[in-house]
Chains A and B, each alone.
Chain A
Amino acid sequence: MHGQVSAASSGNGWRAGGAPKWSFADRLVAITRTDGFRGGAQKVAFEAAGATVIDLVDSPDESTVERQAAQIEDGHGKGLDALVVNGAPVDPQALVEMAEETWDGVIAEHVTGPFLLFKHVVPLMGEGTLGKVVVTAGPETWSGSDGLVHLTAARHAVFGLAKDLALETRARKINVNVSCPSTAVDDAGAEDHEAALAALTQSVMWLSSDASRFVTATSIRLQRPTAYAVKNRTSER
């Protein structure tokens, strides 16, 4: 057919859009939970793109976070380009059965921990840095979930926290966003675990780059329609 472009294909027939090439050479990125799926994949990706990665401990203990911040400043001054704060899954439990300690623990880990990192680590993003904060959360950021009242409250809260940080740091042009993958990202047995993890990693790269410099105080939903919705769609009944 005249003028028809070549039918280049890539592996599984995927054709729409090639993979972007990221470059974070000479950039400093601090990532929490690099021993987990999320942080581990991000560390690999950032290092492949040339960044220096600092492994951070996400802790609700202020002295622990202060010590880490001091270590970063000793080694790198105020040269931190990006902070990635990774969420983690929790076990479901009905509200009426939930112990206060369980609630407190989830809030401490998922909200107070990020708060302390924002307080002590974000000030290390000085002049000339990319100025990027990315929190990885989940679908509980925007919707309810059965048996996850503690996590849903925490995810909503950390989004609010991120929006406030974005407002407070606007003079320094620091972008603060939340990326929300599907639950498969933390479940190695899930069919789409690898795809979900890749999507999260790629969203973190984009949100940490200068390609998203006017994206701030927002959440990115890494979602596709559910299997139920696909099976029951009207258009193909």
Chain B
Amino acid sequence: MPVNDTTTYIPVENVAWDFEDQVVLVTGAAHGQGASHAQRFAEYGATMVVSDIAGEMEHVDYKLGSVVELEQTAESCRSFGNECISTVCDVRDADQVQSMVDQAIERFGRVDVLISNAGIATMSPIESMPLSMWQETMDTNLKGSFLLCRAVVPHMKEAGTGRIVITGSTQTVGSINDLANYTAAKHGVEGLAQSLSIELAGYDINVNVVCPTAVDTDINAIFGNEEWSAQAGALVGAWNLFQEEMIHEREITEAMMWLASRDGAQMSGSTIMVDAGCMAK
């Protein structure tokens, strides 16, 4: 497993995005990748809706986002001069998801971009994995995207346009031991995106998946087990061809923004690997 160190981010120079007048909804936005996505979209002019479970989950051992962190993300978005509403939302709960989307529609009239980013990771060999652990990860990482899409798509259809980007993983296309729940869910989001892209083909609504390699956020704390890391390293090799450290979450945000921009018009049902060559082998 790569080194979990404070990764230096080098600002991108070759591109300036434009999300003026766009309403962007980001889940899992209290910290980590979701917070990065939210802040960057806001920086380039978007009106934001940010959400997070902001609480504990039964099988998750590492630190999840908090209400305080969620509001910090919201304040950061507002600091760019744009409106931002924040909502505590468990994406496993259909009523909470619907309520969040209804709130966004009532306030802003539409949702132009959905970044379905909320996700967790829990680890166990299959034979000892509690069903509740399996369900918790499947419901957060896969069902959550289903519920969000189901709630947002009618509004995007009405608007005739929209962008959906789902956070995948290297485990969307690969696999590794003791992550059956996570791997199944992350494979599932690709299938969900591909199928939904066909359902939405005539509406200028695109659905794509971005697949990061190890990113320097709290979720990677679960990979601290030395024995597992040794096994994983032997199986996978380098998680990042370019550096030992994990990558900064803003590197993932760049891919999200590209797909959500006008440039993403001709891509739907696609999977973008931001994996620093991890899956090349």
Contact = CB atoms under 8 A, between A and B. Distances in A.
Interface of A: 1-8, 13-24, 130, 163, 166-167, 170, 173, 182, 195-196, 198-199, 202-203, 205-206, 208-218, 220-225, 229-230, 233, 235
Interface residues of B, number: 67
A161 B15 CA distance: 28
B112 A198 contact: no
A233 B272 CA distance: 25
B117 interface: no
Given A163-B280, A167-B280, A216-B276, A20 B258 contact: yes
Most buried by A among B83, B109, B255, B262: B262
Contact of A225 (B162, B198, B255, B276): B198
A16 B22 contact: yes
B161 interface: yes
Contact of A212 (B160, B162, B255): B255
Interface string B99-118: 00000001111101100000
A6 B21 contact: yes
B189 to A, nearest CB: 16
B53 interface: no
Interface stretch (B86-94, B225-233, B263-271): B263-271
B21 to A, nearest CB: 4
B268 A223 contact: yes
Contacts of A211: 12, 14-15, 254-255, 258
B107 A14 contact: no
Residue from B20, B161, B255 with most neighbouring chain A CB atoms (10 Å): B161
B117 to A, nearest CB: 17
B13 A17 contact: no
A199 B17 contact: no
A119 to B, nearest CB: 19
B86 to A, nearest CB: 14
Contact of B261 (A5, A18, A213): A18
9 contacts: A8-B20, A17-B113, A19-B261, A23-B14, A166-B277, A167-B241, A212-B258, A215-B276, A223-B269
B197 interface: yes
Nearest to B203: A230
B180 to A, nearest CB: 25
B166 to A, nearest CB: 16
B23 interface: yes
B279 interface: yes
A233 B258 contact: no
Contacts of A173: 242
A237 to B, nearest CB: 12
B47 interface: yes
A4 B105 CA distance: 9
Contacts of B273: 215, 218
A209 B199 contact: no
A18 B19 contact: yes
Contacts of A5: 21, 23, 47, 108-110
9 nearest interchain CB pairs?
A: A18-B18, A199-B266, A217-B280, A209-B14, A170-B241, A17-B261, A4-B109, A225-B201, A202-B263
Contact of B260 (A16, A166, A224): A16
Nearest to A221: B270
A51 to B, nearest CB: 10
Contacts of B199: 233, 235
Contacts of A6: 21
The interface centre, meaning the residue of A13, A196, A208 with most chain B CB atoms within 10 A of its CB, is A13
